[in-house]
Structure 1
Amino acid sequence: MIKHTKTLKVRVRDKHKALLNSMARNVNFVWNYVNELSHRSIKERGVFLSAYDIHPYTKGAGKELELHSQTLQCIAGEYVTRRKQFKKARLNWRKSGG
């Protein structure tokens, strides 16, 4: 059975721009924090952290960053997946707003 994917283009209204930019900055902040945490763990202990190991370090940050806890877990999971995919101890930093 063939699955078809349809891509929709949706214009984001200007009133949502500030909120989306804020969320993007917060997601990039978490990515960079996890990147630094993972790199320090590898450097100091020689241990690669899994998404499960990263979770206690990001626990409770969702309220301050206005992100859901599942979002933080997904960021950590995505980070671990990409680190394994590219076989690197440290990935590139993510930046927002240029």
Structure 2
Amino acid sequence: VAIDRFYPSSKTCSVCGAIASAMPLDVREWTCRCGAVHDRDVNAAKNILAVGLTVTACGDGVRPPRT
């Protein structure tokens, strides 16, 4: 399953779904406003898995709208 290559997987909180603003690549750990603390790579992996499973179950088009 392929997901959108521009899906903000490392900036999206895997707990509440909030998308963080611009995040430089040197930021390896961040805290969401919901209080969840994320390792950038582990968080991205969780989000990629969730989106991949959603695409498998529901079809394409699950990317949040760009603002």
State whether TM-score is above 0.5.
no
Query: Based on CA coordinates, which of the two structures has the bigger radius of gyration?
Result: 1
TM range (shorter): 0.3 to 0.5
TM-score, scaled relative to structure 1 = 0.30
Higher strand share: 2
